[in-house]
Amino acid sequence: MLDYITLRLIWWLLLGALLIGFAIMDGFDLGVAMLLHRVARTNEERRVVINTIGPVWEGNQVWLILGAGAVFAAWPTLYSVAFSGFYFAMLAALAALIIRPVGFKYRGKVDNVRWRQVWDGVLFIGGFVPALIFGVAIGNVLQGVPFHFDSSLRDFYSGSFLGLLNPFALLCGLLSVCMLCMHGGIYLAIKTNEPIQDRAIKLASRFALLTLFLFAAGGVWVSHYLAGYELTGPIIMDGPSNPLYKKAISQTGLWLANYQQDPRFLVVPAMGFLGAILAMLCLAFRKLRSAWIASAFSLAGIISTVGVSMFPFILPSSTHPEASLTVWDASSSQLTLFIMLIATAIFLPIIVAYTSWVYYVLRGKVTVEEIKNNSKGMY
């Protein structure tokens, strides 16, 4: 069996990988839904847009399920605090994700313009709300969440739903929306022809520029105005999962400490910036597949920046810094992490292989002619 420290680090990396996988694979269809009204003018064009993601959106959500499952099984204390504190926010995100398949299925059931407009609005909500809320959640995690534990390790959340909608969290939410619109717009450009393709390229370029601006603004905010967290005293990395066994402080600028200790970590935020810049350049030269890869690297860099900045914290407490959850004190047991790692090593490659095969089979563009020829078999 691997030692406890190694297992905790592996599962911290796996959690980050699953979040990145969700952003890249499910993020583009959220982006497509948000862009539906802007890139498609007629009913046939909107059907084309919807059918670019129609065969794959359900499979893409496996990354969300894997991420939530990993938090539940590998980081149970994190699951308890985060899902109770963010309960109404997560409920809103799940409600939006639930009505999304209803929009896909019901949109074409009645041949009526008003009917289709309503379900097009539902599809937009199903993309926009989760994208915004997931970004808002990350913004609140960076700031710290108001919670503490009593002597028996019962957690108590003292915040409110409206308290989550603070300026920095909303900035992160807008960044999430913009980077997924960039990613979705590039995917649409790959899967469609003119005029949808031209509109998608223009919108993707604009959202890439907004992503750069908002990511830079967030970096300035974090470095100059946002309180970070730091462990003080001896750090027990292989001890029991008890958050009360440590001391921690909160102070402005502490989220930069890991970069100051090892400047090589700066490659992570640089990947976020360079990916978006390369995506814009590739779009300008119509290198669409390269643009999608660059966009994926940008998403990976932006999300990884949060993890690297916060390490070893995974959920700080704004009211009781010593109760903050870290990689070293919020995990499941060593045996549980090891058994789960074996299961992951078996099944994750199967999921990746199956997903790759699906996208290979469904390669190619969706056209208006295809929609007309398969009117009853497509959305």
Using CA atoms, how far apart are residues 307 and 297, in angstroms rounded to an integer? 15
Element housing 232 (H / E): strand 227-232
Residue 319 contacts by C-beta under 8 Å, 6 or more apart in sequence? 144, 146, 147, 148, 158
Beta-ladder partners of 315: 325
- Cα torsion 80, 86, 87, 91 to 10°: value is -130
Token reading at 33: 């839904």
Residue type, 333: S
Q: Say how many residues make up the chain.
A: 379
**Other C-beta atoms lying within 10 Å of the C-beta of residue 369:** 11
pLDDT of residue 378: 76
Residue 83 contacts by C-beta under 8 Å, 6 or more apart in sequence? 90
H, E, C per residue of the chain: CCCHHHHHHHHHHHHHHHHHHHHHHCHHHHHHHHHHHHHCCCHHHHHHHHHHHCCCHHHHCHHHHHHHHHHHHHCHHHHHHHHHHCHHHHHHHHHHHHHHHHHHHHCCCCCCHHHHHHHHHHHHHHHHHHHHHHHHHHHHHHHCECEEECCCCCEEECCCHHHHCCHHHHHHHHHHHHHHHHHHHHHHHHHCCCCHHHHHHHHHHHHHHHHHHHHHHHHHHHHHCCEEEEEECCCCCCCCCCHHHCEEEEEECHHHHHHHHCHHHHHHHHHHHHHHHHHHHHHHCCCHHHHHHHHHHHHHHHHHHHHHHHCCEEECECCCHHHCEECCCCCCCHHHHHHHHHHHHHHHHHHHHHHHHHHHHCCCCCCHHHHHHCCCCCC
Using CA atoms, how far apart are residues 277 and 289, in angstroms rounded to an integer? 15
**Is 229 within 8 Å of 313 (Cβ atoms)?**
yes
Q: How does DSSP classify residue 112?
A: -
pLDDT of residue 343: 93
φ/ψ of residue 231, rounded to 5 = -80, 140
Question: How many CA atoms lie within 13 Å of 155's alpha carbon, on the beta-carbon side?
Answer: 24
Tens-binned pLDDT, residue by residue, of the chain (379 aa): 789 999 999 999 999 999 999 999 999 999 999 999 999 988 999 999 999 998 888 888 889 888 889 999 999 999 999 988 899 999 999 999 999 999 988 988 888 999 999 999 999 999 999 999 999 999 999 999 999 999 888 999 998 888 899 999 999 999 999 999 999 999 999 999 989 999 999 999 999 999 999 999 999 999 999 999 999 988 889 988 999 889 999 999 999 999 999 999 999 999 999 999 999 999 999 999 999 999 999 999 999 999 999 999 999 999 999 999 999 999 999 999 999 999 999 999 998 999 899 899 888 898 888 888 887 777 8
